[in-house]
Each structure stands twice: as structure tokens, then as C-alpha cells.
Amino acid sequence: MNTQNASNYKRTESIFKNTTRQNPEGSEYYRGTIYLYRGNYKKALSFFNNTTQLDPTSTQPWSRKGDALRNLKRYKEAIQAYNESIRLKNTHASSWTGKGLALLALYSKYDDPKHDDPKHDEAIYDEASMLSNWLSNLILSRQPLGLA
């Protein structure tokens, strides 16, 4: 890690620690976010699991949980987490993006000649097609994306 990145991590961690002191209920989420950005996806996942249990109606922890699972190559579980985030707020752009990336990775896995099941999973293909159509309609309608 170069000096600039190390400095950014320390600054980010300091901001999260200060925020955690002001908002102790959110500390699990903030800690998970730190571990996610550091690439420690297993540790991040444990914090996001706690966060989604403590507040199952908050969109962002579900999306971050999906990010951790996707980085652990647990794509089907990631898609479930993104689906929950989208159910709570269907304009949450990072959840749609994460879901698309997880679907792409999962679908690509079936295209791998080493994969022992030569049949494509139709449900994954249908889900990917639905996501593609949704994004196309969104772009055509020029609706702003919810980036929260």
C-alpha cells in the first residue's frame, strides 16, 4: 500500500471512529465498512450480519453485506442481500449495480468449460435479463439514480 492510500485509510478510520462515538448504534455498520474497504471481506460480513439483524429495515447495510458476499464469491447469497436492499428502496443504485455484478459473475461461472454442469441456470439468465431491461428503461426515461 502506498503512502497516499495509507493516509486515506487512517483518515477514513478516524472519521468513522468519531462518527461511531456520536452514533454508537451505527458502529457495527461503520466497522464493517472499514473492513470492506480494507479487503477483509469475512470480517466485514460479520459486522454487516450484525447490522442487518439490529436494523433489518436499513438499505445500506444490506447492500454492503451483498458487496462483502460478492467479494467472497458467494454470489447467490450476495444477490439475496442486494434483493433485500432493493426491496427496501428500489432506486438504490449501488444495490442494483452490485446485483448486476453478482449475476454476471454467477452467470459467467456457468460459461466456464471446467464447470461440471453444462446447462445454464435459466433463473439466473432471466434475472440478468430483467436487470438489463430495468437499467435500459431507467436510462431511456432519464430518471436520476438514487445514490444514497
What domains does the chain contain, in order, with CATH numbers? 3-141 (1.25.40.10)
Judged against a pLDDT cut of 50, whether residue 147 lies above it is answered with: no
Q: What is the mean pLDDT of residues 85-100?
A: 89
Burial of 86 (0-12, 13-18, 19+ CB in 10 A): buried
73 pLDDT exceeds 50?
yes
The DSSP letter of residue 142 is T
| 97, 131 contact by CB (below 8 A) | no
| Bigger pLDDT: 89 vs 6 | 89
Go through the chain and tell me how many residues it has: 148
Q: What is the pLDDT of residues 20-55, one digit of tens each?
A: 555 555 688 888 988 998 899 999 999 999 999 999
Give the pLDDT band (50/70/90) at residue 118: very low
Output b/e per residue, 45-60; b: 16+ Cβ within 10 A. bbbbbbbbeeeeebbb
